[in-house]
Structure 1
Amino acid sequence: MTVGLFIPCYVDQFYPNAAIATLQLLEKLGVNVVYPKKQTCCGQPMANSGFSHLTGGCDELFTEIFAEFDYVVAPSGSCVLHLKEHLHSEKDPQQSEVLKTKVYELVEFLTDVLKVESLQAKFPHKVGVHQSCHGLRGLHLSQMTELVAPPFSKPGKLLSMVEGLEIVDLDRQDECCGFGGTFCVAEEAVSAKMGKDRVADHIRHGAEYITGADLSCLMHMEGILRRQKSNVKVVHIAEILNGI
């Protein structure tokens, strides 16, 4: 099995340690990982802003450099969902359609493809798990609480394998943090209030860290925590599973 590692723009620029942890974790689990150096943005920011017609170059490049791999894995639920739903190559539409089915967010790849049952990691802290909207409602990484259906959590399953880690219960398990990509720019006051409410839930229940599968949401909450001069930190789930 050969995996193409896709690192989204904001992870590359602001949270490189999460990218490194993703690579190291996959290699620890015996996966042959390749990082194509020509990779760029997946096109999600343009598409979310109403300019999907400008993502053609991103689509063509992504298809060109990742088509050869058995799987493509990224530590970002929102980027993965965008690719799964919108990737399209004019030059080779059949190739891009096949590639859509091979793109995985890290957590779903670990649980659904590798079927990981144990991890060598320690993290003796109280951790709040943030369910990002893209991961929850698009990729179905966890069960939505409004449904009368058996509960499940793929991030929770993996975190339960980490020695010393305690997951804290939240009042609202799958509430949006308010980031929403360009929503936080267009509706900054609403976005900020939603973020403060989300952070307060974690703090109220004693979380020392907030983790999740999407660093865009974690970045939004980190900004609020810093402004509040809180001791609570954010960390991508890959870093915890890798043993930081």
Structure 2
Amino acid sequence: MVQSGSSSKGQGTSPESAGERLAEGPHVGLFVTCIVDLFRPNVGFASVKLLQDAGCRVTVPPQQVCCGQPAYNSGDDEGARRIAKQVIAAFSEFDYVVGPSGSCMATICKDYPEMFAHDAEWKAPAQNLAARSHELLSFLTDVLGATPAPATYQGRAAYHDSCSGLRKLGVKDQPRELLSHVEGLSLAEIQDSETCCGFGGTFCVKYPEISTHMVSDKVANVEASGADTVLGGDLGCLFNIAGRLKRLEKPTKVFHAAEVLAGMTDIPAIGEPEQT
């Protein structure tokens, strides 16, 4: 989907399923995220394709685990630190660490240094990992300066700005810039695009009625825009929006932006039943 002239050498081994390893280019460790791994692997495959097309060598470390955000946000600081140490160790050898989630990458970039601010042993490794870590779409634009290659999607899409990616990492214009090059796709800016969809991790569990009201407002704004598709960069938000759309029996499709950019939308949209 994208090409880049950026190049640096790294060490490590490629995943068996990631395709041919490139001889040159930055060595990227892909942080897959729990939701991608368990519910939407297509986003992971799309991420690998985008990074490889941009000239990167991609490895998916098998030792990676959850970023620890649910534990940290729920007050289990010690549990979150145990998880973070495993992530730090798993991604210690890469030029960059990239993930298709503003939420998870914000945890690594912003919360890890805070977790270990007073830990003499882990403070520097946490800061080092944070400095090398990026959300996928911002990495392609801000770090690699990638130039999109042809991709096609026929539709009018509303882009949802997820809270963590937007507010913690500044992911706003980058996905729109990349998506503007997709043939057949037009973007519709929706009212309150920067307003939370109501997912918020454990928020939707603790406050279901408020969460339902928020996602209903989001769906109404999407419908008012005339969009037939919702795109975003965080699967948690996209699952929440897709779930509400289906409960309201709306035909609007939902995809992760990486799937559209990689030309990998030939599977059922998020929330739709698998083909048999």
- Normalising to structure 2: TM-score of the pair? 0.82
| Aligned twin of 1:240 | 260
The CA distance in 1 between the partners of 2:196 and 2:169, in whole Å, is 15
CA-atom RMSD, angstroms?
Answer: 1.2
The CA distance in 2 between the partners of 1:203 and 1:102, in whole Å, is 38
Matched, 1:70 2:100: no
Letter of the 2:130 partner, please give it: K
Indicate conservation of the 8 Å contact 2:54/2:140, yes or no: no
Indicate conservation of the 8 Å contact 1:119/1:241, yes or no: no
The CA distance in 1 between the partners of 2:193 and 2:67, in whole Å, is 29
Matched, 1:30 2:55: yes
| Aligned twin of 2:198 | 178
Deviations 1:26-72 (A, max 9, x none): 11222100010111101000011111221122111111110110000
Identity of aligned residues (%): 40
| Aligned twin of 1:200 | 220
Indicate conservation of the 8 Å contact 2:156/2:186, yes or no: yes
For structure 2, the residue ranges without an aligned partner over 5 or more in a row are 1-25, 265-276
Question: How far 1:118 sits from its partner (Å)?
Answer: 2.3
Question: How far 1:230 sits from its partner (Å)?
Answer: 1.2
2:94 partner SS? coil
Question: How far 1:117 sits from its partner (Å)?
Answer: 2.5
Alignment equivalent of 2:135, drawn from 105, 108, 131? 105
| Aligned twin of 2:146 | 116
2:217 partner SS? helix
1:41 partner SS? coil
Letter of the 1:78 partner, please give it: S
The CA distance in 2 between the partners of 1:133 and 1:119, in whole Å, is 28
Q: How many residues align?
A: 234
Letter of the 1:19 partner, please give it: G
Letter of the 2:58 partner, please give it: V
Deviations 1:70-126 (A, max 9, x none): 000000000100111122565443122111111100011011111122222111111
| Aligned twin of 1:231 | 251
The CA distance in 1 between the partners of 2:241 and 2:77, in whole Å, is 28
